[in-house]
Structure 1
């Protein structure tokens, strides 16, 4: 798929403009924060059109909102393959779930994610029959290797690392291949964020170089050799390396906590995609809307969880993401 510069997206972008008016703003988030309980928050969300008839709990409402987003995209563009860069992660999650399910001889359907590029049943059958030729090319090798590791050693962590690395490589390659500015940017930031999270975890758990090299995925904005050397030398070396990259501002967030870093990166993505609102001849405004919706759903989930568990408003606010509008 290449970024198209004709009129085919004009109508869809015009519709997205009207939908953007319904996105939650900072004042909407403040209104939710002023609610005394999760139940009061849910009533406010209902009033704003969130959820569907019969939705009662927060997860049902959030699931309904995600479904609305993808239903809208299907209605506007028909072929969702233009957005597959956002969906590959679900495929690899389902592969991990299928391998674990087969390994422990379980049969649960609630652990699989919808809206991937591959039907979860296809993935489950491939693992059960140990025939990965039915999977897309980008999944076959890692499925074979991860399944073998799980079956022969029972090492779920290593199996997951193999799949996670393949997921990042796929997102990066496919995102760059689109030649779309936003999807390419998303792929870059997605992999960089994952690599830096891996770096912090590896330092804290004392992983060796071979483990680190196996886990990290390549991207243009990070030098993996320098990053790996920094990981081996510890946190301060990691911070010094990051200060030489475009992610220098992330150092303070990393020093604060992993959740602060995740928030920093999510906010960076929102800031970087906002200019795409004004690019009506491509699918970029549609892709930006998807990311904006995911961002607000994540923010609402954090907020509702905080209210449910009686976490202080100050602690909740420290984790909330910035809004697209």
Structure 2
């Protein structure tokens, strides 16, 4: 990929970065006395135009509409659409999960669809129903077929998430290799590693068998799958000790207590690590990293806003909200 191809897109990215909510504004929201005060602040942001009169019922839709608008704008200008899809693929596979289950259960889960910039609700539903659809890549059609074969053999929804999660990570690696940017490949590898670590930790907590985890974990990361599997039937302390021997030792140290990873902080740590990776994008003028950094920043912003709004509604303290918030781009 020729990085110079991005010289027209990245000025737009820099402008969009100016629309990101400041840490000061998020702090004001956290310190707000009630949802009414948060609503006033929220309506003054770029999300305000998408709100209806009922703030709590429409804020989620506002976040989604703002994201869709940004994706539409970026997709029109991106030199290589795969650069955006490697990020929004998480929404594509989310859509597959929801809509395949809807088809198998004969229910309507259309409301769960998330716009990914590329594949419409009708395209995915057609592919699930017929096994083919114009414009869908083979990796999605193959995933649908694999899930259908699993269901025909087992008549069970169990395993659908495992199949699609594994195929998602495989697709991440495949697209990163196709794009051929070393920095992007490094980010994807770290993302796969953290996903595997998180799944292993959850599997230990849920007392999953080694065979179950063998199916669930991806082989596309830098941490050997077999090394993670060795901890599955022993415990979190064994996993923690092993991770201390990897390149992520320094990263995970802050969430270790009594020689064991604090599982409730692991997902936040993953998000913060990948956000810090994108900090290098601030100095790049011509490559694909700035647009990916922007997409990551918007996703983190949405997570923080959901946390603040929902947290205030259910009565979390300011401190409880702050300790769950993700680090934001540029801070």
For the criterion TM > 0.5, the same-fold answer is yes
Instruction: Report the counterpart of residue 52 of structure 1 in structure 2.
Output: 49
1:167-212 deviations in whole A, cap 9, x for unaligned? 1110122123212244323322221121111101211222222211
Instruction: Report the counterpart of residue 14 of structure 1 in structure 2.
Output: 11
Counterpart Cα distance in 2 of 1:18 and 1:108: 36
Cα 1:264/1:147, change in 2 over 3 Å: same
Counterpart Cα distance in 2 of 1:64 and 1:51: 11
Choose from 19, 31, 35 the match for 2:32: 35
- Match runs of 1:145-156 below 5 Å: 145-156=146-157
- Match runs of 1:9-158 below 5 Å: 9-55=6-52, 56=55, 57-77=58-78, 80-115=81-116, 117-129=118-130, 131-132=131-132, 135-158=136-159
Instruction: After superposing the two structures, state which structure 1 stretch, 273-282 or 255-264, moved more.
Output: 255-264
Is the contact made by 1:62 and 1:301 (CA closer than 8 Å) also made in structure 2? no
Question: What SS class does the counterpart of residue 113 from structure 1 fall into?
Answer: coil
By how many angstroms is 1:320 displaced?
Answer: 0.5
Counterpart Cα distance in 2 of 1:132 and 1:258: 40
1:301-321 deviations in whole A, cap 9, x for unaligned? 111110111111111111011
Counterpart Cα distance in 1 of 2:45 and 2:143: 43
Is the contact made by 1:51 and 1:61 (CA closer than 8 Å) also made in structure 2? yes
Instruction: Report the counterpart of residue 267 of structure 1 in structure 2.
Output: 272
Q: Per chain length, whose mean CA-contact separation is higher, i.e. which structure has more relative contact order (CA < 8 Å, sep 6+)? A: 1
Choose from 308, 313, 319 the match for 1:308: 313
By how many angstroms is 1:252 displaced?
Answer: 4.6
By how many angstroms is 1:10 displaced?
Answer: 2.2
Question: What SS class does the counterpart of residue 285 from structure 2 fall into?
Answer: coil
By how many angstroms is 1:258 displaced?
Answer: 3.4
By how many angstroms is 1:115 displaced?
Answer: 1.6
Counterpart Cα distance in 2 of 1:127 and 1:75: 27
Counterpart Cα distance in 1 of 2:81 and 2:39: 30
By how many angstroms is 1:44 displaced?
Answer: 0.6
Instruction: After superposing the two structures, state which structure 1 stretch, 52-61 or 33-42, moved more.
Output: 52-61
Question: What SS class does the counterpart of residue 110 from structure 1 fall into?
Answer: helix
Counterpart Cα distance in 1 of 2:320 and 2:123: 42
By how many angstroms is 1:274 displaced?
Answer: 0.7
- Give ranges in structure 1 of 5+ residues lacking alignment: none
**TM-score, normalization by structure 2:** 0.88
Instruction: Report the counterpart of residue 291 of structure 1 in structure 2.
Output: 296
Instruction: Report the counterpart of residue 214 of structure 1 in structure 2.
Output: 215
Instruction: After superposing the two structures, state which structure 1 stretch, 71-80 or 148-157, moved more.
Output: 71-80
By how many angstroms is 1:139 displaced?
Answer: 2.4
Is the contact made by 2:281 and 2:293 (CA closer than 8 Å) also made in structure 1? yes
- Give ranges in structure 2 of 5+ residues lacking alignment: none
Is the contact made by 1:165 and 1:216 (CA closer than 8 Å) also made in structure 2? yes
Counterpart Cα distance in 2 of 1:171 and 1:74: 18
By how many angstroms is 1:225 displaced?
Answer: 1.1
Counterpart Cα distance in 2 of 1:283 and 1:159: 32
RMSD: 2.3
Q: How many residues align?
A: 321
- Match runs of 1:188-207 below 5 Å: 188-207=189-208
Instruction: After superposing the two structures, state which structure 1 stretch, 106-115 or 273-282, moved more.
Output: 106-115
By how many angstroms is 1:32 displaced?
Answer: 1.2
By how many angstroms is 1:272 displaced?
Answer: 1.0
